[in-house]
Every structure is written in structure tokens, then in C-alpha cells.
Structure 1
Amino acid sequence: MTAPLFKGVITALITPLRDGNVDEAAFATLIERQIAAGVDGVVPMGTTGEGASMDLDEHKHVIDLCVRLVAGRVRVIAGTGSPYTKEAIDLARHAKTVGADGALVVTPYYIRPSQAGLAAHFEAIAEAVQLPILLYNVPGRTGIDLANETVARLAKHPNIVGIKDATGDMSRVSWMHANIDGQFDLISGDDPSYLGYLAYGGVGLISVASNVAPEAMVALHKAAVSGDAAKARDWQDRLIGLHKALFLDNSPSPTKYALAKLGLCTEEVRLPLSLTADAVKPAIDRAMADAGVG
């Protein structure tokens, strides 16, 4: 079996905004912080990056900017999902052109196609663009679930190299590990259950919490993969409150609130998201303190 193409801690980057526009200076600062902390990759324009709230030009600009700022130091997996197959292809082609290492393609939200339609959607993208593709299954947001059997079918395509599974269901990673032949990167998209996901055969995490606590998330991963279960559990215990707190309001608003407290960006989000409610801010503050962030 070949080594995973994508593995380790990969940060689902927020997109910092100021007065309605992308704050490029803050974005550069956030990326440098991630690289200094030792993450293995970053994802611009995913769910946490508010990709669905950006127009096409903004979306492409943020991916291009991210690739240029990273400058090959870690992997860049561009969020290129769209419910419109033609647009998803266009975004993936752009990601390839500007030098991204891969594309993260979410299931077509709102439309809710059949499993046959889902397979055809991903296969059309994979045929159109010679770029490694990670499937992205997050049924709690999209309203559609990518079945295990459909994943196994898609895993046979040479350009489809793995999945970001944000279901939190450990039986799924176990099934995929047992039933998909060859290398297929099993990446968690659920911070709280990541330690279990690794134990069941996962190789990495696309993380929200690593925006706020990148060093801690890297330390958890390293402890786990080195076999130091006690240290990994200790990091998990320190971080579990933060994992939960960052979803106490519409994500990524709590993450932006936390980063604003650290002086790294504004709290600004793009409508229809709203700023973090005052009622949940104390819980986020406590979780940051417990995680040693601040």
C-alpha cells in the first residue's frame, strides 16, 4: 500500500473579513501561524472558510492567495464544491491551474440527488480535472448522505484519493478501511471524534479547532500516531471543550470570535451568518483557557 497523499492535521481555514472584503493581511498571518505550528495542510474555501457565501471571483481569489502564501510549505486542498456540477468543475480546474495540491468536493447540497447522481457528479469532476480529489460527506449540512457503497465505487477512480468524513460515525471509517482496496485517504471532518477515527483506520483530520489551537491539535495527532495513548487522551481531554464550544453558534462565527480574542482577525462573517451570540462567549472563553490558548 502506498503512503497517504493527505494525512495529519489539516486546518479548515476561516476567511478573515474586514468591511465586507477578504482581509488579506490577516489571512497571511493566520497561514503563517498554522505553518509555524506544524500542520500538514490547509483548506481554503471549505465550509469553515464560508465558501458557500463567496461569489465565484472571491472564491477563486482566496484559493489563489492561499496557494501563493503557502508557497509549497504544506499541502493546499482547495474547497471546490458546488451543487452545480459545471461550477464545481470550473472551481477544480482553477485550483489545478493556480497550483493547489488537491480539491475538497462536498456533496451537492440542497439538490439532494440519488446515489447514482452523486456518483455521476463526482466522476464528472474527476474526469474533467487531473487533480487529487477528496470527497466530502457532511450530511448534517448538505441534507444528503454519501453511502459507503458509493464511496467504494468512487474510490476506484484514480483521481479520487480519499474522503473527508464529517459524520462522526466510527463504523463508517471501519467499513471503508475493510472494504476499499489500495490507498484511500480516510480523513475525519469531526474534531471531537478524531482520536477514535484514527484508531479505526483514519490517517488525518480536516480541523476547525486547529484554527484556534494548532499546536495542541498537532500534539494530539503526534501522540496518537506515535502510540502514546495516555498523552493523546490527555490532549483530547484538554481540547474537548474547545471542540464543542466552536459549534455553540453558527460556525465559523465562534472560531472567528476566538481568533479575534487572540488579535488575529475581526469577528466579521458573511450573511446569512451572524456574529457569535454574547450568551455563548463565556463558554468559548473557558474552553480556550482549558485548551491553553490565549
Structure 2
Amino acid sequence: MKKAQFLTPVVTAFDENANLDVKGNQAIYEHLIQGGIDGIVVMGSTGEFFAMSMEQKKQLIDIAVSYINHRVKCFVGTGCMTVQETVELSNYAAKAGADAVMIISPYYFSMNPGDIEKWYGDIASQVNSDIYIYNFPDRTGHDISPEVTLRLLRQHKNIVGYKDTVEALGHTRALIELTKADFPDFVMLSGYDENLAHVLLSGGNGCIGGLSNLAPETFSAWVKAINEQDLCKIEEYQRKVNALMELYTINTPFIPVMKKAMILRGVPIQEKCIEFSPITAEQTAKVTAIMKKANLL
């Protein structure tokens, strides 16, 4: 079994005017680093990248890369609606010192396999960075198939990993099985927290999961148990994470729930999201109950 890793798709802290909260974001990064997380993914879906201007995105890249300072891995989500903007932001992140970029394909219009392959290929040929493909068919309307992925790997050495945000583990397993013979170092990561151990047992590498914003120490301990092959501890943390998964059901989208939960744990940020309202008092009570049950309060 490969060595496990868990990365956090970090929330983005804003002030009441929807400007970046520099100290708030730095506090979040420190919370995650001290919690033992393996890496931080800036501007993933949980980071509200879709609501940020290009100027804000570049500002956040500078804040994150300089503060994290290679203490843990720092990936940056750079997927935009066009190849040109994606290349621009990806190369900005690379020049700033990010360890890799994570690129979601365009959303709104579904894309056929040939267009998906061309889109990623055009980007990979112009980006000076390691690239992680981000597959999230529930949001993009299309799936980046194992076959397309394998063809991209054969053409572009800087495509080094893949985040698979699908509930069906069989999809991730098919990706692993199709690519591992020719590309044994290709990094396969789940997008669902609870699937960490399952992905490792199937030959993958780990997870990028939003719950680690709240409890990084839980996920770093789970990674440690997996790497030490401590079956009792693995089961213990699997059950803890299974219980925490209920947080995802409280509100759509999940981001305001996570910000409120982090505030309840003492992370000094505001609830502000660019496009989403704070959760209600009733929802906050549900969050509090789950956190108390998980000994997070």
C-alpha cells in the first residue's frame, strides 16, 4: 500500500466587504499546518474560486505561497473558463512558488471526450508547473474518463495527479488500474473525505477533503494510522470521519457550514462568503451537536 496523504481544500477568509482577509487566511493556514495536514489546496471548490476576480486570485496566491513557505505542500486551483485565463493563472502560481496547480475543466456546457483532451492538452503544453486534473462531474456536467486521462499522461509529463470527486469508488479504481502499469507514480486522490482508506487499499494515494478545514488533527492521525497499518486506529478514525460527514448535509452549499464550524473551534475568521448567506441559528445548533459528539468542542 502506498504512503497516505491528506490535503485540505482550504476555505478562503473574506472581510465584511468581500475583500481578502489576510490575517484570517494566514490563521487558517497555521491551523492546518499545526494540525499536521500534508498539504493545502488554495482556491479549490471550498475556497470559492468561482466568485473571485483574477486580481483577487493572484493576491491570494501571493498570500498563501509566501505564508505556507513550503512547510507543507501548496497547490493552487487555477481552472478558469478559458485556456488563456487558466494558463495565465497557472503560470502565475508556478512563478510564485506553488508546488502544483489543480485544474477543473470548464463548467456550464458539457464537453465530449475529444474536447476535454484538447482543453487539458492545450493547457499542459503552456503551463510551467506540475498539474493535477480535477474531475467533478456533478459540477462540470462531464466526466474526465480513465481513457482520456491515460492519453493525456502519454503526451504531457507535467500532468502528475488527479482529484476524483465522485461518490462511486469504482470510477477511481478504474483510473488507478488503467494508469498504474505505465505511470506507477501518478497520484490518485479522492475528493470525498470518507474514501481515504478505500482509495489507498485500491492503489491510490489519498484524499483532498473539506472536513479537514475543521479537524486537521483527525485526518493527520488517520493518515498516520494508515501508514503504520494500525487496523484498529484506521477503523476508529473511519468511524469518526463517517460521523463528521453529516456536516455536508446541513446546507447547500457546504462552505458557510464549514466557516461557522471553524469559528466555533476558535479559528479567527468571519462567516462572510462572497455569494452565500451565513447559516441559520437552527443549522448552527446542528453543527454544534455534531462537533460536540466528535469532541471538537
TM-score bracket for this pair, using the shorter chain length: over 0.9
Aligned to 2:171: 172
Deviations 1:225-254 (A, max 9, x none): 321122111111112222231342112111
Please list, as runs of the form range in 1=range in 2, the aligned pairs for 1:36-185 lying within 5 A after superposition. 36-156=34-154, 157-180=156-179, 181-182=182-183, 183-185=185-187
Aligned mates of 1:197, 1:253 — CA distance in 2: 28
Question: How many residues end up aligned between the 2 structures?
Answer: 289
Aligned residue type for 1:211? N
Q: Which runs of 5+ in 2 are unaligned?
A: none
Query: In the alignment, what sits opposite 1:258?
Result: 261
Query: 1:277 — aligned with what?
Result: 280
For 1:200 and 1:286, the matched residues in 2 are separated by 34
Letter in 1 for 2:31: R
Give, in angstroms, the shift of residue 211 of structure 1.
0.4
Which amino acid in 2 is paired with 1:93? N
Where 2:46 maps in the other structure, the secondary structure is coil
2:198 equivalent in structure 1: 196
Alignment check: 8 A CA contact 1:238 1:290 kept: no
Q: Distance in 1 between matches of 2:64 and 2:265?
A: 21
Equivalent-residue separation in structure 2 for 1:160 and 1:58 (angstroms): 26
| CA displacement 1:192-221 (0-9 Å, x = unmatched) | 222212211221211201100000011112
> What amino acid sits opposite 1:14 in the alignment?
V
Question: How far apart, in 1, do the equivalents of 2:22 and 2:84 lie?
Answer: 28
Structure 2 distance, partners of 1:64, 1:251, is 26
For residue 185 of structure 1, what is the amino acid of its counterpart? V
Q: Indicate the residue corresponding to 2:231 in structure 1.
A: 229
Q: Distance in 1 between matches of 2:162 and 2:249?
A: 22
Superposed displacement of residue 112, structure 1: 1.7
Equivalent residue of 2:177, what SS?
helix
Name 1:24's counterpart in structure 2.
Answer: 22
Given that 2:108 and 2:140 are in contact with CA atoms closer than 8 Å, whether structure 1 keeps it comes out as yes
Q: What is the distance in 1 between the residues matched to 2:167 and 2:132?
A: 17
The CA deviation at 1:122 is: 0.8
Q: In angstroms, what is the RMSD of aligned CA positions?
A: 1.5
Q: Which amino acid aligns with 2:130?
A: P
Unaligned runs of 5+ residues in structure 1 are: none
> What TM-score does the superposition give when structure 1 sets the normalisation length?
0.94
Answer whether contact 2:163 2:189 (CA < 8 A) is retained. Answer: yes
Shift of 1:39: 1.1
SS at match of 1:42: strand
Any idea what SS the aligned residue of 2:290 has? helix
Partner of 2:5: 8
Per the alignment, in what secondary structure is the counterpart of residue 18 of structure 1? coil
For 2:103 and 2:125, the matched residues in 1 are separated by 14
Opposite residue 243 of structure 2, the aligned amino acid is G
- Cα deviation for residue 60 of structure 1 reads 1.1
Is the contact made by 1:37 and 1:214 (CA closer than 8 Å) also made in structure 2? yes
Contact 1:17 1:23 in 2 (8 A): yes
In structure 2, C-alpha distance between the alignment counterparts of 1:257 and 1:172, rounded to whole Å:
33
What residue identity is the alignment partner of 2:46? T
CA distance, structure 2, for counterparts of residue 160 and residue 26 of structure 1: 32
Say whether the 8 Å CA contact 2:146–2:178 is kept in structure 1. no
Shift of 1:144: 1.6
Aligned 8 A contact 1:63 1:95 in 2: yes
Inter-partner Cα distance in structure 2 for 1:209 and 1:81 = 22
Query: Secondary structure, in 3 states, of the residue corresponding to 1:17?
Result: coil
